[in-house]
Every structure is written in C-alpha cells, then in structure tokens.
Amino acid sequence: MHTPPPSLIGLNTAQCVELATQFGAPAYRGRQLAHQLYQSGSSDFSEMSDLPRQFRSWLAENWVVSPLTVVQHQRSTDHVDKLLVHNGDEQVYECVLLPYEDRVSCCLSTQVGCPMGCTFCATGMGGFDRNLTTGEIVAQYLALQALSARRISHIVFMGMGEPLLNLGQLLPAIEIFRNEIGLSARHLTISTVGLVPQIRELAELKIPIHLALSLHSPFDEVRGRLMPVNHKWPVAEVVQTMRDYQRATGRKVTFEYLLIDELNDTVEQARALAHLIKGFPCFVNLIPFNWVDTGNGFRRPTRERVQAFRQVLQSQGINVTERVERGHDIAAACGQLAGQHSGKFAKRRSLSALPQSPA
C-alpha cells in the first residue's frame, strides 16, 4: 500500500521550530510555519508567502500540509455540513460542522469505525479499522473551519470511534487545539461509552475538559443490551468513576441518555436514573433515538414519552437538556455517522479483537 507523505498539521510550534532548524532556517521560521498552519489556516505551501521560497520548496518535497482528502461534502437543509474524508488509504471517516446562533461547534472522529459495538449506532455496525493520528484529528477541525465564516469555538469528540481508546493521539491534538489554535479546554467535550481506566487517567491529568458519558440506562440488564462495554464496567462502577472525575477536575459532567421507545424511556428508569446521579454537579442530555437500521427494531419515542421522562428527572432536581437535533437529512445526527463510501475498505475488527484496556 502506498504510504502518503507525513503532514505538517499535527506538529506543534516546538516541532515546527525543530523542522526549521533541521533545514537550516532560524527558529522564528518554525514559529511562522505554525502560525500559517493553525492561525492563518493555510492549506497549500504557496499561501505561506512569509516563508522563504527555498524553505517552502523543501517542505513541499518532504511533507504535505494536511493529511486529509475530502471525498464527499454534504450540506443539510438546516445548514449542517458533513465531510467524508480519508488519508489516501480510502479508510473513510466523517466530521460535522454545526452552526448555532450563539456559537459554531463541530463533531470530530477519533477512529476509523469503532470497536465498541453499541447496538444503536451506525458506526459500531461497521466494526473498527484503526486509530486516527493527531494530525488527522486536528485536520478535521481545520477542514471544517475553512467552510465557516465564523470561528469554530466548540469541539465535541463524538464522531466515529471511542475517543478514550485513542488517548495517545487525542491528548496531543487537544494541546494543539488549546495552545496553537487558542480554544478553551472548557469548550472541548469528550464523549465516552465509559472506559473506567482511561477516565481515571484523564482525571489525573486535571485538564478542565468536559466529559460526557453515554449511559442510556440505569439498569445493567438494559444497558448491557445496548452497550457491550457494560459487561466489563457496569453502571454503578462507571457512574462512580464519573463522580471521581468531577471531584478531580471541578467540571460538571454530562450523562448522555439515548431514549428508545419502550426500552429505556420508562418512568421507572427515569426515577432510578435520578436516584443514581443525584447529589453531584451534572447534567442529563436526552437524545431521542435517531433512526438507524440496526436490525434490533429500535424506534424513536413519542414526544409524550420524552416529556414524561424529562419531567420525572426535573421533579427530582436533576438538570436536564434535550439534544438540539441537526443534520438528519444527511445522516449527520447522533449515532448516524457510518463512513459509507463506494471505495475500498480495510476489513474491520470487532470488539473481541480489541486489545485489553490497561489496568
């Protein structure tokens, strides 16, 4: 398989300075290069006019600016943009631009496919190819920013993949978002199915990132049907770990709760959820099921059932929001990203092929 040249996106300022000195240029040329990548958003060496021509030629011979090839760009009727991209290998993944009245957000992938096998999610149905590199994660943001006249101020790592399985590449990407692009850590959200060792590792770093847990039921029997990960780290353990994360970071946490008709949207489960999470700073974000044909017969609940569930939580003093749903007509909504493309795919691995998480 052809190996594409390395990309400059993914390097921080110190690494760009090292690159400049390797060429024989002064250190400030490396700082200029980093500014071109992350502040100016230059996508081609010809746009970096403040750099000497010889330095640009040398870079062009050995590097590319971005690792991404965009193979499809869709825009929904409610002005959501979705890009299908790959890194020259046709292993495709998706990212989404979400403009709101008060901010512009984006949803980024951290893996090609996903090994977690959640039964309600289109990504999980396709299995797992590989982790994304730091450059591939950051380049998604820059590709989406090029589509927006307004600055993207918020990032949710909730696209394809389980972010905490790729911390080795995600953490350097987060540092680039904070230190090179200038985003607030408080505007960065990691969504996880609940990998207890990695949540603890993240808590020890004390980065003030917002953490969101895909919970989806307070009952192990129901959650285990929806999410195989629950068999390893059941509800009580993962919720306690989220409590510990909140204490360590001082950040409110979010419990994402996908509502599926007559499965996990009962008043009984709403009461059990309120009892489970009461007493520490958190939100519940309700997400009515976005239809994906998973073969399980899942249905979207009625508005009456959603409202009844919400009212129970609110009556118990739980902070509740409901996901503003965008991009349905281009399959860009929560749980719908599938990376569908007519090109070639690597054989994806199932959850059973996933290496064991660190203890």
For residue 337, the model assigns a pLDDT of 54
C-alpha gyration radius of the chain:
21
Whether 345 shows a pLDDT value over 60: the answer reads: no
For residue 334, the model assigns a pLDDT of 55
For residue 338, the model assigns a pLDDT of 58
The chain-wide mean pLDDT, for the chain, equals 89
In the structure, what pLDDT confidence band is assigned to residue 7 with cuts at 50, 70 and 90? Answer: very high
Percent pLDDT > 90 in the chain is: 78
For residue 3, the model assigns a pLDDT of 73
Task: Provide the annotated active-site residues.
Answer: 94, 334
For residue 350, the model assigns a pLDDT of 38
CA dihedral 36→39→40→43, nearest 10 degrees, is: 60
What is the DSSP code (8-state) at residue 352?
A: G
For residue 277, the model assigns a pLDDT of 97
Please state, in angstroms and rounded to a whole number, the distance separating the CA atoms of residues 35 and 24. Answer: 19
CB 66 within 8 A of CB 317: no
| Amino acid, res. 293 | D
Determine which of 11-15, 49-53, 189-193, 291-295 has the lowest per-residue pLDDT on average.
Answer: 291-295
Q: How many CA atoms lie within 13 A of 99 on its CB side?
A: 15
Domains of the chain in sequence order:
13-62 (1.10.150.530), 69-353 (3.20.20.70)
CB 335 within 8 A of CB 119: no
CA 157 to chain centre: 2
Q: Which residues pair with residue 97 across a beta bridge?
A: 81, 106
Whether 358 shows a pLDDT value over 90: the answer reads: no
CB 88 within 8 A of CB 4: yes
Collapsing DSSP to helix, strand or coil, 191 comes out as strand
Collapsing DSSP to helix, strand or coil, 209 comes out as coil
116-168: pLDDT as tens digits = 999 888 777 778 889 999 999 999 999 999 999 999 999 999 989 999 999 99
CB neighbours of residue 297 within 10 Å: 9
More confident: 101 or 358: 101
Whether 73 shows a pLDDT value over 80: the answer reads: yes
| Amino acid, res. 288 | P
Whether 341 shows a pLDDT value over 70: the answer reads: no
Please state, in angstroms and rounded to a whole number, the distance separating the CA atoms of residues 239 and 230. Answer: 11
Burial 54-87 (b: 16+ CB within 10 A, else e): ebbebbeeeebbbbbeeeeebebeeebbbbbbbb
More confident: 348 or 152: 152
Whether 263 shows a pLDDT value over 70: the answer reads: yes
Determine which of 122-131, 264-273, 287-296 has the lowest per-residue pLDDT on average.
Answer: 287-296
232-255: pLDDT as tens digits = 999 999 999 999 999 999 999 999
In terms of residues, how long is the chain? 359
For residue 323, the model assigns a pLDDT of 73
Q: How many CA atoms lie within 13 A of 216 on its CB side?
A: 28
Please state, in angstroms and rounded to a whole number, the distance separating the CA atoms of residues 247 and 30. Answer: 39
21-43: average pLDDT: 97
Collapsing DSSP to helix, strand or coil, 66 comes out as coil
For residue 76, the model assigns a pLDDT of 87
Percent pLDDT > 70 in the chain is: 88
For residue 359, the model assigns a pLDDT of 30
Strands of 69-75's sheet in order across: 69-75, 81-86, 93-99, 104-107, 154-157, 188-192, 210-214, 253-259, 282-288, 319-322
CB 248 within 8 A of CB 211: no
Collapsing DSSP to helix, strand or coil, 299 comes out as coil
For residue 348, the model assigns a pLDDT of 45
Please state, in angstroms and rounded to a whole number, the distance separating the CA atoms of residues 161 and 203. Answer: 21
CB 138 within 8 A of CB 145: no
